[in-house]
Structure 1
Amino acid sequence: MLNYTKILVVFVSLLVPASLFSQTLKALEKKGDEAVANKDYYTAMIHFAEALTIEPQSMRLNYKYGEMALQFKAFDEALDRFEKVLDSNEAADFPLIQFHLGQLYRSQGQYNKAIDAYETFLSEYQVSGDDSFKAQAIHARDACKWARESPTRERVEVIHFDKEINTPYSEFAPVLVGDTLYYSSYRYEMKSDKHDPKRKIAKVLLSVDGKKGMPLRRGFNPVDQNTAHTAFSLDGKRVYFTLCDYLEGSSEIQCKLFYRELDSKGSWKGSPKSMPAHINRPGFTTTQPNVGYDSTLQAEVLFFVSDHVNGVGGLDIWYAVVEESGFSKPELLDGPNTEYNEISPYFHTPTQTLYFSSEGYENLGGYDIFMARKDSMQYVDIENMLAPINTSYNDVYYMPADPDRLAYLASNRPGSFYLDRRNKACCNDIYEIHFLPADETPLVSNPEIPIPITPPDLPKEPTTLEDFLPLALYFDNDEPDKRTRKTTTKRAYQETFEPYYERKDEYISEYSLPLDPDDQAEAELNMDLFFEEDIQKGSRHLGLFSEILLARLEEGEEIEIFLKGFTSPRAETKYNEALGKRRISSVRNHFQTWRDGIFQPYLDSGNLIISERSFGEATAAAGVSDSLEDLRNSVYSIDAARERRVEIVEVKRQ
């Protein structure tokens, strides 16, 4: 079974319901133990936390809570509990505590402390039948010895994506296709969930040119089901993904692989199709698809991860050949798999190289990213990608967009966003990796310090006044100067733009809220694009237009600018005519006040003339709502917002 990153949302101080003291300590602990048995660790942690508010000095409860805190990567919380147990007279009752301390220190990169803890555990632990803990401790201790001596890759820059993509929840599985980044986000509430507390689900999102990520639309993400991972076929006509369900009474999920076909216009064809039973094997999880071309097999190959009983151990990487009639019998990859977990395969076809993450091998802690070269039917020369690509935390979903220059990964390393300061390693974020040429120096030498992503190259800006036409400048509803019939205003355009742009989130929410989830995601994306590509762009272009205009006036040209006003049809015609004139007045004020009035001498001399044409509702597009009661469509819709504008429609040399 596959556990996604769990999120510690509630701590002891927030977990004291009014009815707590009517419940017995024994009942709370029993509920916690039952949740652990069901692998519902989130619920278990809540019950143990509640029990500790009744009996904070119970070493048994402190230990159980510490185990759950470690499970959720709340390392400071776990350390507090374990140290409390170690300082007590009951430490000997918990023989695994040094093992857990080793896990904790290793996860934080404190390798010497981790080695000491593992050595103490190995010297004290008495094996009684199951020696798996001893084997794990030996493996982890030896990995710590390797990690503290391991080299660091030079000329690598690690960049943390900002909040356009990352959130305090988990973002993972990045895949770059052209200028579009597909990824998954584990932040959506499972609305119909009867579990207490409600569990989160994942959805697949996309971000174009680094803009805000939005869920894939038109039914791709089911309402109350985990949807994650994207892998496109070589011809781009099919996308593979996973649908996952929570096991009953648990926070554990079981996944199956599905695919959907795309038509020539990029729209989904039909419903999701499940992979055949020999791949989606009943009772096991099948997840994390990736597609590549195997030059030995001369075939398209689907890679995936499964915990099938015939694997090497834990989660393993499998593959199946994509055939005209379906898919071949899946086979285990020869080379990468160990008795530990191997996940997130990515096969780079041009170099026939497999990238994957593993808890096995010598690593820095958690999952490290490895690469393996394909040689005939084997994968050889398995190599740790080293720091700063890897950390002592979980580093997964490596995607080499260009192996020599650019890659993406997901990690819960320091610098990732988090929900609570006590649980800073809760969640994966997406990072961009730059491999720098020898003559470039990283901007930041410490990979743990997040820096903003370098924005993509912008389209070429206009270079002449005529290139801007028509230059649209957008206004908030009934602005400038609400509820007046005046035809002029003292406000310049920029004074109206800034408060309007600050309402972007409100517009997104009000416009999308009544819609069903699929249409809602599309509405959110479209409104966000309107604010960025139309409203914000108009303001920026007005500044550039003014720069070019000044240069031409300084060269002795005489110029006339024609403005045309528009309004949305919420009021009667005379009111809208006045509103259109006020909007033109605010744009006129821009030219009168820009750069402390630098255009004023040209306006006074007649070398610069601002002419106006205002049309009010008469020019509003057909279909735009004029209903005063229907705020969503008459105020917050894109159609209505697009009508509230002034355009610079013509530039004439006198």
Structure 2
Amino acid sequence: MSRFLIIIVLFIFSFQYYSQDFTQDYFLHAQNEKEKGDFKEGIEYMKKLFEIDSNKVDYLWLYAELLRLEKNYSLAEYYYKKVYDKEESRIYLRSLFYLAEMKKMNGKYDEALELYKKCKKKYAYDKKEYLYLKSTQEMESCLWLKKAKMDSASVSFNKTLPFNSSESEFAPMINDNKFYFSSLRADSISKSGEIISKNYKSNIYFLEGKDSSTLTLLFETNSLKEHHANITFSLDGKRIYFSSCKENLNEPSCKILMAYLVKDKVLEIDTLDEIVNEADANTSMPYIAHFDDKEVLFFSSNRAGGKGGMDLYYSYIEDEGKKYSMPFPVDKVNSPGNEVTPFYDSIDKKLYFSSDWHFGFGGYDLFCSPFLNYSFQKPENLMLPVNSTNNDLYLVRYNKQYYFSSNRSENNNSTCCSNIYTFKYKEKEIEHQVLATNELRTFKSLEDLNKKLPVTLFFHNDMPNPKSLDTISNVSYMTSYNDYVQLIPKYKKEYSSGLAKEKISDAEEDIESFFIEYVNQGVEDLEVFCKLLLKELENKSSVILTVKGFASPLAKSDYNVNLTKRRISSLVNYLKVYENGIFQKYLFPVHVDSTKLLIQEVPFGEYVAEKWVSDNPNDSKNSIYSRAAALERKIEIQSVNYLTQDTSLLLSAKKQLLNLGSISKNNKLKIAFEVKNIGHLPVEIDSIGVPCKCNSAESTFSILKPNETGIIYLYFDPIDYIGKTVKSIYVYTKNSKTPLRLVITAETN
């Protein structure tokens, strides 16, 4: 070997040895900084390491972790994907989960949904563990988001508060015309859920009014590793409570302290006893409120016996802060995740808090739980734009103004650090009103209703009223739904039968996901829709719902048409009994001018079902219990319109779909549809749309007076058709954009 080649080899060997030495050094430093909570410094070490080697999966994983903890969600998503592409969660179990989480934090909800479905299968080996429960919850949350993201709270924002900075501001509080908040440079979150930092202390500051520019530190401590935040005041204003956290990420470090405040001087700081500050637990984020006619301390803690991570509790204060009752958990609010930053509004009787578990838009969302009938109720999301795809916490109210903290990307520091935001709810607008004849009409509430559509409801095979040719049913949809979900174990067993052992779990998860994603979601959508629909009817607006039917092709087509009619009938039955029959007066109005709720049925049956769904009655696995077949057995509320908005909607067909059964292609047919004017004004035919040259149509009338009936004929020549056939004509009326669709179906031979 030449001396030149020897020199080259020695150089390469020396460089590799040198590089390996430095990569390991950088890697260990980055790991150490992560353990200490200095994620930013850890990222700097990883950047240096990546200049040498950016391909090793261990390095990619550590970098992704640091980016997530530093709240750089966009870049964290990129590196979690690189990790998962290399090891598919075989080395790092949570790589898929965190990839899904970053997708959601970045607002990519559809992609997050698909990944959470994969997570649910991946972690199905232990359905009691957090990863499986959280993946299931997030899957349902993403389904909720599909429609929730179209709604928004009616608020006005002020995002430029003078005390916000490039550092981190959080935990706002107003008392005695002073604005208090906590501030921290390099915002990061410890395992306890408390916001702390390695190099800088979290402290409490105040301003003489929120518009003041003079910032004052409330008090200082000697310890460099003790962080104070989350101030709250006793009802008489004499005592303060706040969180004190020591910088220790590996064991509980947060407690609630109390002190006396005299002329802005903090005196006699003391720790609350172990009734509140339970040993071996983090206890933090206090808020004092007038609740249940008493002075009460709300707080967050991960004490033993809770539902998950940090839970919310409240304790009655006695003897001016010298005694505290045993804490009570807020059961309907607490979850397997984390509930933090409580604030009880004694005027509106609502508990506000943040959670990373309940259905939300990102990491931590803001929620409220109304206190009704001596109990806190199911949490309600405060919606966009109050919430964001990031972390929204520490909401408080002062008069009509709300304050909260968020690391949303609108502030100066992207998502790394938090600022304080403020908003007001806009005065309640008249969302819907009927004005004089020539004046405009607002349809905001109608738009809100249609945002909730379609509402899709699913059924078990041949339900309700199996083996029947009836077109109506006495079964309510909720009865049908409850019977359906009881069959989940049977669906799992049948759908997974004959599969290899390693495939059985995936098949069972497919069935479970179907019921979560479609069946259960349909019921939740129906409940939300009915509340809005009732509100609209109570505003004296007559409306018409268009409900379309489907069925999987197991029975004959004429049978399935009747089956879909029974399914639509079950929805009507549900409306009849909803909230003790509150819809009855709209479904069956006593007077001609009464507010009406009309149901326009479109029972298409099998003719629009996917042709690849099995219609073999001997193949029950695929024709009944498969996910594909189950997806076809449904009805949809497809649209809602005002009766006075579109005169075509006043023209109704006694039978909108006629099934002709088996017909010969050599016989030309004349089919009669009976139609009726169900409105208050005359209806004039403008035209009849005939999309197919094989059809023609004529009407026996040009104008129908209210309550009059008439006949519309459809002429059909089936000479060029064989098998299943669906044909339609469209009846347009004057001053109308939406036609009445009339449909025939047949088996042509």
Mapped to 1, the partners of 2:271 and 2:159 lie a distance apart of: 35
1:398 maps to 2:395: yes
What's the counterpart of residue 255 of structure 1? 254
Closer, same or farther: CA 52–130 of 1 in aligned 2, 3 Å: farther
- Matching residue within 53, 56, 60 for 1:55: 53
1:199-214 alignment runs, 5 A limit = 199-207=199-207, 208-212=209-213, 214=215
What's the counterpart of residue 376 of structure 2? 379
When the two structures are aligned, how many residues end up with a matched partner? Answer: 403
What's the counterpart of residue 425 of structure 1? 415
- Matching residue within 393, 400, 407 for 2:402: 407
For 1:127-175, what per-residue CA distance to the aligned partner results, in whole angstroms no more than 9, with x for missing partners? 479843222212111101111211433431122134x311222211111
What's the counterpart of residue 121 of structure 1? 119
What's the counterpart of residue 277 of structure 1? 274
1:352: Cα distance to partner?
A: 2.3
What's the counterpart of residue 236 of structure 2? 235
Mapped to 2, the partners of 1:326 and 1:273 lie a distance apart of: 13
Q: Which amino acid aligns with 2:105?
A: S
1:306 maps to 2:295: no
Closer, same or farther: CA 333–308 of 1 in aligned 2, 3 Å: same
CA contact (8 A) 2:353 2:368 kept: yes
Q: Which amino acid aligns with 1:359?
A: D
CA contact (8 A) 2:363 2:391 kept: yes
For 1:546-578, what per-residue CA distance to the aligned partner results, in whole angstroms no more than 9, with x for missing partners? xxxxxxxxxxxxxxxxxxxxxxxxxxxxxxxxx
Mapped to 2, the partners of 1:188 and 1:91 lie a distance apart of: 31
Mapped to 2, the partners of 1:416 and 1:68 lie a distance apart of: 21
Mapped to 1, the partners of 2:238 and 2:31 lie a distance apart of: 48
Q: Which amino acid aligns with 1:185?
A: S
Mapped to 1, the partners of 2:247 and 2:372 lie a distance apart of: 39
1:177 maps to 2:175: yes
CA contact (8 A) 2:27 2:49 kept: yes
Closer, same or farther: CA 260–90 of 1 in aligned 2, 3 Å: closer
What's the counterpart of residue 437 of structure 1? 427
Closer, same or farther: CA 293–120 of 1 in aligned 2, 3 Å: same
What's the counterpart of residue 574 of structure 2? none
1:236: Cα distance to partner?
A: 0.8
How many percent of aligned residue pairs carry the same amino acid?
24
1:54: Cα distance to partner?
A: 2.7
What's the counterpart of residue 502 of structure 1? none
CA contact (8 A) 1:41 1:251 kept: no
CA contact (8 A) 2:256 2:284 kept: yes
SS of match in other structure, 1:54: coil
1:87: Cα distance to partner?
A: 5.6
Higher RCO (CA-CA < 8 Å; seq separation 6+)? 1
Mapped to 1, the partners of 2:77 and 2:264 lie a distance apart of: 51
Closer, same or farther: CA 88–245 of 1 in aligned 2, 3 Å: closer
1:460-499 alignment runs, 5 A limit = none
What's the counterpart of residue 331 of structure 1? 328
Closer, same or farther: CA 63–130 of 1 in aligned 2, 3 Å: farther
1:93: Cα distance to partner?
A: 5.0
- Matching residue within 307, 314, 320 for 1:319: 314
1:76: Cα distance to partner?
A: 2.7
CA contact (8 A) 1:66 1:78 kept: yes
Q: Which amino acid aligns with 1:254?
A: S
What's the counterpart of residue 367 of structure 1? 364
SS of match in other structure, 2:309: coil
Mapped to 1, the partners of 2:210 and 2:30 lie a distance apart of: 46
Closer, same or farther: CA 125–227 of 1 in aligned 2, 3 Å: closer
What's the counterpart of residue 110 of structure 1? 108
1:32: Cα distance to partner?
A: 4.4
1:27-42 alignment runs, 5 A limit = 27-33=25-31
Closer, same or farther: CA 237–153 of 1 in aligned 2, 3 Å: same
Closer, same or farther: CA 72–371 of 1 in aligned 2, 3 Å: same
Mapped to 1, the partners of 2:281 and 2:54 lie a distance apart of: 40
What's the counterpart of residue 596 of structure 2? none
For 1:489-522, what per-residue CA distance to the aligned partner results, in whole angstroms no more than 9, with x for missing partners? xxxxxxxxxxxxxxxxxxxxxxxxxxxxxxxxxx
1:391: Cα distance to partner?
A: 1.4
Mapped to 1, the partners of 2:97 and 2:29 lie a distance apart of: 25
SS of match in other structure, 1:317: strand
1:77 maps to 2:79: no
Q: Which amino acid aligns with 1:365?
A: G
1:165 maps to 2:158: no
TM-score (norm 1): 0.56
Q: Which amino acid aligns with 1:317?
A: L
1:184-203 alignment runs, 5 A limit = 184-187=182-185, 198-203=198-203
1:102: Cα distance to partner?
A: 0.9
Mapped to 2, the partners of 1:34 and 1:188 lie a distance apart of: 17
Closer, same or farther: CA 42–131 of 1 in aligned 2, 3 Å: farther
Q: Which amino acid aligns with 1:379?
A: F
SS of match in other structure, 1:409: strand
Mapped to 2, the partners of 1:252 and 1:212 lie a distance apart of: 38
What's the counterpart of residue 216 of structure 2? 215
For 1:357-399, what per-residue CA distance to the aligned partner results, in whole angstroms no more than 9, with x for missing partners? 1112211121111111223552114211111111121111111
CA contact (8 A) 1:239 1:259 kept: yes
Q: Which amino acid aligns with 1:337?
A: N
1:309: Cα distance to partner?
A: 1.5
Mapped to 2, the partners of 1:213 and 1:253 lie a distance apart of: 35
1:142-153 alignment runs, 5 A limit = 142-150=140-148, 151-153=150-152
Mapped to 1, the partners of 2:221 and 2:151 lie a distance apart of: 41
1:103: Cα distance to partner?
A: 0.4
SS of match in other structure, 1:146: helix
- Matching residue within 339, 342, 351 for 1:342: 339
CA contact (8 A) 1:204 1:221 kept: no
What's the counterpart of residue 484 of structure 1? none
CA contact (8 A) 1:169 1:417 kept: no
Which one has the largest radius of gyration?
Answer: 2
**Which consecutive unaligned segments of at least 5 residues does structure 2 have?**
1-17, 188-196, 432-749
1:506-521 alignment runs, 5 A limit = none
1:59: Cα distance to partner?
A: 2.7
Q: Which amino acid aligns with 2:59?
A: L
1:272: Cα distance to partner?
A: 0.8
Closer, same or farther: CA 348–222 of 1 in aligned 2, 3 Å: farther
Mapped to 2, the partners of 1:171 and 1:286 lie a distance apart of: 21
**Which consecutive unaligned segments of at least 5 residues does structure 1 have?**
1-19, 190-196, 419-423, 442-654
TM-score (norm 2): 0.49
Mapped to 1, the partners of 2:146 and 2:23 lie a distance apart of: 44
